[in-house]
C-alpha cells in the first residue's frame, strides 16, 4: 500500500515507518521542515502541516491510508482535536479512504466511568496531552465523516523495547497483564497498527493494545 505518515520523526512515528517499510509498503512522511527530517532510505519526505486543509489535501492525494502519530507536547494539546477534525473532513476530499490514529491511554477506563487521566497518580507532565487526545476521540465519535478510521490507545506504559509480534487487543478499558502491569513496546504497538491496516478488523472504533 501507499502510506502517508504524520508525525513520522517521533518515537511512535519512527516505529511505524520501520514496520511499514519492513512489510513492503511505500511510505511518504510529512515534515514541516523537510531539511531537518531524518528518515530511512526509501521514504519520500514532503512538507505538510496536518492542521492545514490545503496542505493535507495536496500531500495525501493518491495514498491508500494515512497514519497519524501526533503529539500535543510540541504542537499544543489544543491542536490535537483540531487536527483530528481536519483529517476527518479533508481525507475523503483527497480520495484517501482510511485513517489510523495514535491516541493516548488517558481516555481508557480503569473502572466503570473512570478514565485513567483522572486518577491521582497520572503524570502531570502529560495530562494536558492526554486530555487533548480524549477530545480527539470525542471528535472521531461525533463526526459524520464517511472516513474509515481506527483510533489506537496504547497501554499505560509504552516505551522502546523488543519487537515480539505479540499483543492483545481490547476496547475502552485499560488492558493489564496478570500482575496488573499495563505495557507495550513501541515496536509491538507499530506491529498492531500495521496488522490492523492490513486486516481491517476494527473500522470506525477505538481499540486498545497491550501485552
Interval 35-55 mean pLDDT = 91
Global confidence as pTM = 0.95
pLDDT in tens, 182-191: 999 999 999 9
Residue found by looking up cell 485513517 in the block:
99
Q: What is the mean pLDDT of the chain?
A: 95
196 Rama sector, left if φ>0, alpha if ψ -120 to 50, beta otherwise: alpha
pLDDT at 31: 83
Q: Would you place residue 77 in the very low, low, confident or very high pLDDT band (cuts 50, 70, 90)?
A: low
Question: Residues 17-28: pLDDT tens digits?
Answer: 999 999 999 999
| pLDDT confidence tier of residue 73, bands split at 50, 70 and 90 | low
What average pLDDT does the segment 94-107 reach? 97
Q: How would residue 131 be classed by pLDDT, with cut points 50, 70 and 90?
A: very high
| pLDDT higher than threshold 90 for residue 104 | yes
Domains and CATH numbers, the chain: 2-210 (3.40.50.720)
Q: What is the DSSP string of 150-183?
A: EEEE--SEEES----S--EEESSBPP--TTS--E
pLDDT of residue 75: 55
Amino acid at each position: 500500500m501507499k502510506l502517508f505518515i504524520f508525525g513520522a520523526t517521533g518515537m511512535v512515528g519512527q516505529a511505524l515507518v520501520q514496520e511499514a517499510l519492513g512489510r513492503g509498503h511505500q511510505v511518504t512522511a510529512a515534515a514541516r521542515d523537510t531539511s531537518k527530517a531524518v528518515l530511512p532510505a526509501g521514504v519520500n519526505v514532503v512538507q505538510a502541516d496536518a492542521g492545514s486543509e490545503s496542505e493535507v489535501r495536496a500531500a495525501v492525494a493518491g495514498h491508500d491510508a494515512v497514519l497519524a502519530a501526533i503529539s500535543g507536547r510540541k504542537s499544543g494539546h489544543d491542536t490535537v482535536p483540531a487536527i483530528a477534525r481536519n483529517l476527518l473532513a479533508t481525507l475523503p476530499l483527497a480520495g484517501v479512504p482510511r485513517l489510523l490514529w495514535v491516541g493516548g491511554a488517558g481516555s481508557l477506563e480503569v473502572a466503570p466511568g473512570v478514565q485513567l487521566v483522572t486518577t491521582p497518580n497520572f503524570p502531570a507532565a502529560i495530562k494536558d496531552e492526554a486530555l487533548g487526545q480524549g477530545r480527539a476521540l470525542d471528535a472521531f465519535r461525533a463526526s459524520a465523516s464517511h472516513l474509515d478510521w481506527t483510533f489506537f490507545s496504547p497501554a499505560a506504559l509504552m516505551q522502546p523495547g523488543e519487537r515480539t509480534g505479540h499483543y492483545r487487543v481490547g476496547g475502552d478499558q485499560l488492558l493489564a497483564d496478570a500482575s496488573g502491569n499495563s505495557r507495550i513496546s513501541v515496536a509491538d504497538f507499530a506491529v498492531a497498527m500495521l496488522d490492523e491496516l492490513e486486516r481491517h478488523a476494527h473500522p470506525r472504533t477505538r481499540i486498545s493494545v497491550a501485552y
